[in-house]
Structure 1
Amino acid sequence: MTTQDGTIGVLMPRDIPAGDIVAFAQRAETHGFGELWVVEDLGYRGGLAQAATVLGATTRIRVGVGLLPAAARNVAFAAMEIATLAQLHPGRIDISVGHGMPSWMRDLGVWPASPLTLLSEYITVLKRLLSGELVHHDGRYVRVDGLRLDASALPAQVPAVLAGVRGPRSLAVSGEVADGTLLAEPVTPAYVRQALTHIAPDRPHRMVAYNVASVDEDPAAAYEAVRPALAVVGEPDWRPHITPLPFHDDLVSLRSRCDSPREFARSLPEEWVRQLAVAGTPHQARSRLTDLFAAGVGSAVLTPVGTDCLASLDSLAAVL
């Protein structure tokens, strides 16, 4: 669904049963969600393969891939795959590229000495290839010696390439080279505003925000449903998300006193949960989305919670 403020999308859970993938995508389209984002996380499923499947099973909904790790995917072959999807499904595919989780990339032996340099080179070359340019690039990490995608393989509409990043320096790179930024959950209006100061875009720049979400006529039930997904918020990698919040110091202190992420999630005050998720009654959830759009988000992507992803999707559709 696209409103006068922005687009409301939904995220396909990374651990969704394979037999539910097509049903989830088709139901999201039927409900009227404007976007469907698929996940590429190490050990789960490939993002481009999922995107191809759901694009072929739907007719209207826009599909995003979040996110391709620059260190793990050769830029030329990624460009070929992306161009094919964009050619077969014009105007319906968005791609985000990021560093990847450092621990995962280190496990694979591909974490670079300068992640920022790699990301900048990668997105720059990927965009040039998708635009049909003849590319000569001899960078620190990305090397392409005279490659151009064949005219028969070029899409009529070049897909947007976003940077999936979170820290200040990475956000600055996104503003320099990407068409937009994908912010992982949790995304608050304060985080969006701070991120935009680091991105400092001087041209159109699309902001996509993931947020854990639960909608229920009983707001207390919705808040409880999102708690497990907020367990990671106290970990160091999520510091950029919570630094702008007025309760940042208290949140860090709470995490230090808890023996486990699970205990931390259970101990979060309800007011913090309301700010860290899109949760509550349909009216409360819509109000939260309005705040995100006002802060600069162009696409708000709701992340379902719970074990029954199709039922969760149906409940989230109440915000539409």
Structure 2
Amino acid sequence: MKSEHSGLIGVMLPPDTPVQQIVPFARKAEEHGFDELWVVEDLGFHGGLAQAATVLAATSRIRVGLGLMPAGARNVAFAAMDVATLAQLHPGRLDVAVGHGMPAWMRTVGAWPSSPLTLLYEYITTLKGLLRADLAHYNGRHVHLDGLHLQSTSLPAFAPDVLAGVRGPRSLAVSGHVADGTVLAEPVTPSYVRSALRYIAPVRPHRVVAYNVAAIHDDPAVALEAARPCLAVVGEEEWRPHIAPLPLRDALVSLRSRSAGPEDFARNLPDEWVRQLAVAGTPAQARAQLAELFDAGVTSAVLTPVGPDYVTSLASLATVLRG
């Protein structure tokens, strides 16, 4: 649904969603009127391409994003075949994001490259080229194509956008250079968006997809308490780029260093910090937060529901669509 600030509002299918709830979640998201549904591929959970294929087949309108495919995990030619097939079957409804993957996860499966930035650049370049039939040869450091092209019967009429799911400054610069957009993982604040865009420095149209934990309730205190546990990871090292642009960054790092663990850290987050790090509050408060994100440069705001029942949680998130 287009907001008054011309942004799109989507929802994320959480990675720990029970498999029997994937289709009901997707259909309910479409029924509520969300513009986009993003699936994720976290190691040890559900496969991203399998989820994307399933929810595309189970719905008719909602746009589906796959975020993200780790570049080190899939040969780009075979990934291009899967993506092209989905784009043919569901024209104009698919977006894909490519990223490094969490370094620790990738190392556990032997898929962390010697040069992650180079691989990301080469992977996105060749994936886009294969999907658009304008690249058949490529001799890079990590990616090699020797005369490969997708057959005419396998090429989608509408090549999907290829975005980069990244967070570090150099990775953001690569995204701005070769990708059609950037997926920013949660938490995404207006300050983080503006900081990321400075590194992305897009010279052509560039989408910004922002993930955020979301809890919406008529009682703002209830919403804050629901969102709080999902912010436990924010104190970890990988999330420093998200909080670096915020005035609270030093205090947040200090709180994490004094905490017994992630759960203790989340428990002790002040309410005002939770408000900044999640889309949490009343429907009106949530709409105001989304408006600030759109004003900062976000094109798609993707809300991640909190448990215990993700399908039921969609109804509360959908209240932001009716303002």
Corresponding position of 2:315: 314
Q: Supply the distance in 1 between the matched residues of 2:2 and 2:159 (Cα, whole angstroms).
A: 21
Matching residue's letter, 1:18: V
Matching residue's letter, 2:203: D
Q: Supply the distance in 2 between the matched residues of 1:202 and 1:180 (Cα, whole angstroms).
A: 11
Residue 198 of structure 2 is aligned to residue 197 of structure 1 = yes
Do 2:182 and 2:207's aligned partners in 1 also have CA atoms closer than 8 Å?
yes
Corresponding position of 2:26: 25
Deviation per CA, 1:213-262, whole angstroms, max 9, x where unpaired? 00000100100001111000000000000000001000000000001100
Residue 246 of structure 2 is aligned to residue 245 of structure 1 = yes
Corresponding position of 1:183: 184
Q: Supply the distance in 1 between the matched residues of 2:61 and 2:111 (Cα, whole angstroms).
A: 37
Deviation per CA, 1:268-313, whole angstroms, max 9, x where unpaired? 1111100000010000000000000000000000000111111111
SS of aligned partner of 1:72:
coil
Give the Å deviation of 1:111.
0.7
SS of aligned partner of 1:262:
helix
Deviation per CA, 1:101-126, whole angstroms, max 9, x where unpaired? 00011001121121000000000000
CA RMSD of aligned residues (A): 0.6
Residue 196 of structure 2 is aligned to residue 234 of structure 1 = no
What aligned pairs does 1:91-106 form with structure 2 within 5 A after superposition? 91-106=92-107
Q: Supply the distance in 1 between the matched residues of 2:3 and 2:224 (Cα, whole angstroms).
A: 25
Corresponding position of 1:124: 125
Deviation per CA, 1:150-169, whole angstroms, max 9, x where unpaired? 00000010100000000100
Of 304-313 and 288-297, more deviation after overlay is shown by 304-313
Matching residue's letter, 2:3: T
Give the Å deviation of 1:2.
2.0
Do 2:99 and 2:165's aligned partners in 1 also have CA atoms closer than 8 Å?
yes
Corresponding position of 2:14: 13
Residue 290 of structure 2 is aligned to residue 289 of structure 1 = yes
Corresponding position of 1:154: 155
Deviation per CA, 1:4-24, whole angstroms, max 9, x where unpaired? 420000000111111111111
SS of aligned partner of 1:246:
coil
Any unmatched runs of 5+ in structure 2? Answer: none
Any unmatched runs of 5+ in structure 1? Answer: none
Q: Supply the distance in 2 between the matched residues of 1:40 and 1:197 (Cα, whole angstroms).
A: 28
Corresponding position of 1:136: 137
Q: Supply the distance in 1 between the matched residues of 2:156 and 2:111 (Cα, whole angstroms).
A: 30
Give the Å deviation of 1:195.
0.2
SS of aligned partner of 1:300:
strand
Of 306-315 and 257-266, more deviation after overlay is shown by 306-315
Give the Å deviation of 1:3.
2.2
Matching residue's letter, 1:291: E
SS of aligned partner of 1:147:
coil
Q: Supply the distance in 1 between the matched residues of 2:214 and 2:136 (Cα, whole angstroms).
A: 42
What aligned pairs does 1:26-175 form with structure 2 within 5 A after superposition? 26-175=27-176
SS of aligned partner of 2:291:
helix
Matching residue's letter, 1:306: G
SS of aligned partner of 2:226:
helix
Q: Supply the distance in 1 between the matched residues of 2:114 and 2:272 (Cα, whole angstroms).
A: 40
Corresponding position of 1:3: 3
Do 2:126 and 2:135's aligned partners in 1 also have CA atoms closer than 8 Å?
no
Q: Supply the distance in 2 between the matched residues of 1:98 and 1:182 (Cα, whole angstroms).
A: 9
Q: Supply the distance in 1 between the matched residues of 2:61 and 2:87 (Cα, whole angstroms).
A: 14
Matching residue's letter, 1:296: G
Matching residue's letter, 1:3: S
How many percent of aligned residue pairs carry the same amino acid? 70
User: Scaled by the length of structure 2, what TM-score is found?
Assistant: 0.98
Q: Supply the distance in 2 between the matched residues of 1:12 and 1:116 (Cα, whole angstroms).
A: 28
Corresponding position of 2:302: 301
